[in-house]
Structure 1
């Protein structure tokens, strides 16, 4: 497909809210645009079912199910990010720095670093980064020293962030380390109730 046609198609899908368009949030401009299918059910279909319909039709749904089971934790971690981001936006003042006006993520072409959540004073190019965050949505593994170390390294690579930029972790199973503000499932539900 020619580039102009692809650009036109993505613009149309974005206008109809079928595809979300995102740019990395930092104090430097970027052209590393990401396109994400908006509907989580459609994302699931496109990832696990649609490409494997011939397999399912041949009576080998067991292969599809095995693929889903082996990839589920990783897929779910990505799928929960928009839900968590929206819950963070709805939080009453307190856990997030007061000057946070927008939230996004940060990535480079090589995906190193790739940061789940970045808070800032404005978008698309921030004047000030207000926090850096990570989501760990695992049943039996809390946010630990390895996760904190990785988040701190990524913060150091984020344009506009430094060692004073607060770190926030959203974890399903708690934390084993200090030095990070922790938000759990109850915090996210509270944000959704208000």
Structure 2
């Protein structure tokens, strides 16, 4: 579903209408607050991927023509960003990445370790496949190309 407002409505408000009608909007607000961080992270991923597609040549590893995601039926691994040379079936994986859109936590060593593990489980990727992190709060680790919100916004301006 492409419409973020409809996704939000279906995730939180549609099922909460009976509570709202009973004057218990506070219950709906509590459910939103409890799930907000996780929901926001998933909601921003399509925007991040579209921003990557719009970035000027040279911003991503050479040969990156498309950006998508990868997951198995069990969601293990679940990789937020997979750059490739073409779609729908890539000949070459050009970059593997993670989106961390937390307000008060940067991309860190734990996130990098998880991304490294997931890269080993992605068909077509190996230890030479570059790593990318997109984070609202920057990074506290090295070994990964870092993009922050300003980088994503710049892709929409050009």
The bucket for the TM-score relative to the shorter chain is over 0.9
Q: CA RMSD in A?
A: 0.7
Q: How far 1:191 sits from its partner (Å)?
A: 0.5
CA distance in 2, matches of 1:182, 1:103: 16
User: What's the counterpart of residue 47 of structure 1?
Assistant: 11
CA distance in 2, matches of 1:193, 1:45: 29
CA distance in 2, matches of 1:67, 1:90: 35
Structure 1 residues without counterparts, runs of 5 or longer: 1-36
TM-score by length of 1: 0.80
Deviations 1:81-120 (A, max 9, x none): 1111111111112331120111111000110000001011
Higher-Rg structure is: 1
Structure 2 residues without counterparts, runs of 5 or longer: none
User: What's the counterpart of residue 162 of structure 1?
Assistant: 126
User: What's the counterpart of residue 26 of structure 2?
Assistant: 62
1:1-194 → structure 2 map (5 Å cutoff) = 37-194=1-158
Task: Indicate if the aligned counterparts of 1:121 and 1:130 stay in contact, CA closer than 8 A.
Answer: yes
Deviations 1:156-194 (A, max 9, x none): 000000000000000011100000000001101110111
Q: How many residues align?
A: 158
Task: Indicate if the aligned counterparts of 1:95 and 1:181 stay in contact, CA closer than 8 A.
Answer: no
CA distance in 1, matches of 2:42, 2:11: 12
Structure 2 counterpart SS, 1:51: coil
TM-score by length of 2: 0.98
